[in-house]
Amino acid sequence: MMRVVLLGPPGSGKGTQASALERREGIPHIASGDLLRANVRENTGLGRQAKPYMDRGELVPDDLILEMMAKRLSEPDAQKGYALDGFPRTVAQAEALGERLEGLGQRLDAVIYLEVPGAEILRRLSGRRVCPSCNAIYQMDTMPPKKDEICDRCGTALVQRDDEKPDVVGRRLQVYAEQTEPLLQYYRKEGLLHEINGTIGVDNVLAAISGIVEGKAASREEQCL
């Protein structure tokens, strides 16, 4: 059982680590960005409301995000744990998540913040490509597809997201600093926040996350003795 939240600016590696935890621990990787894009792609009511904010690189309003996440967290596979990627992004969202988990008799094991400098974020995102069919992510410098601009998994042509173009990335980083930074203070006061250098390599970051969560689990077991 593992319930973790991964925080960090756009391009810090939250999705990569959440996917790695999904494979290693057998828990779902729940990414608010992927859920939002799926709603936009399927032209749902929520997707139509969220799209203008996403296109401008702004945060989608809390009520829309909470509606979407409440539905996802109620699905059967999320009952055994999860790695949340991109949610919560505000203190209000964190408080709402805490209330929902309390009602379910659950609690978070840890909140992981991946620290990555702004210049590195810009480099990562400018070279990132995604598959619109299976959501696979590539980095053209460090993790390119075998065939140029073609997904290894399904053969679909890769795309660059509108919100990962340089001008929008700059706006996203500004929004992150203004609106999401207080979330770190909130979780720090809750005793859940752990900060990890997000530039030490994927495997090293994963090992650090696993060590933190395993340490928390061991501490709970000792308290029960």
Q: What is the pLDDT of residue 217?
A: 52
Q: What is the pLDDT of residue 70?
A: 84
Catalytic residue among 14, 37, 124, 129: 14
**Looking only at Cα atoms, what is the longest distance across the chain?**
56
Q: Domain range holding 75?
A: 2-116+167-224
User: Tens digits of per-residue pLDDT, 24-33?
Assistant: 999 999 998 8
Work out the average pLDDT over 78-90. 90
Same domain, 82 and 190: yes
Same domain, 125 and 15: no
* Residue 16 identity (one-letter amino acid): T
Same domain, 50 and 30: yes
Same domain, 210 and 125: no
Question: Cβ contacts of residue 115 below 8 Å, gap of 6+?
Answer: 8, 12, 195, 196, 197, 198
CATH code of the domain in which 30 resides: 3.40.50.300
Domain boundary among 140, 160, 180: 160
Domain boundary among 160, 193, 216: 160
Same domain, 84 and 141: no
C-beta separation of 19 from 127 below 8 A: no
Same domain, 54 and 146: no
Q: What is the pLDDT of residue 86?
A: 82
Give me the number of domains the chain comprises.
Answer: 2
172 is catalytic: yes
Catalytic residue among 3, 124, 128, 129: 128
89 is catalytic: yes
Same domain, 143 and 214: no
- In the predicted model, is pLDDT for residue 77 greater than 80? yes
Tokens of 145: 């597809």
Tell me the three state secondary structure of residue 171.
Answer: helix
161 is catalytic: yes
Judge residue 37's burial from the number of C-beta atoms within 10 Å of its C-beta, 0-12 exposed, 13-18 middle, 19 or more buried: buried
Same domain, 18 and 71: yes
Is the bond preceding residue 88 a cis peptide, omega within 30 degrees? yes
Catalytic residue among 3, 124, 129, 172: 172
Same domain, 17 and 127: no
User: Tens digits of per-residue pLDDT, 9-26?
Assistant: 888 999 889 999 999 999
Same domain, 75 and 146: no
Same domain, 111 and 122: no
Q: Angle 148-168-59 (CA atoms, 0-180°, nearest 5)?
A: 115
Catalytic residue among 3, 37, 89, 129: 89
In terms of average pLDDT, the best of 104-113, 162-171, 212-221 is 104-113
Pair type for strands 128-130 and 137-139: antiparallel
DSSP state of 78: G
- Of the pLDDT bands very low, low, confident and very high (cuts 50, 70, 90), residue 224 is very low
Same domain, 45 and 154: no
Catalytic residue among 100, 161, 171, 216: 161
Work out the average pLDDT over 153-176. 86
Cross-strand bridge partners of residue 31: 85
Closest CA to 4 of 175, 218, 206, 199: 206
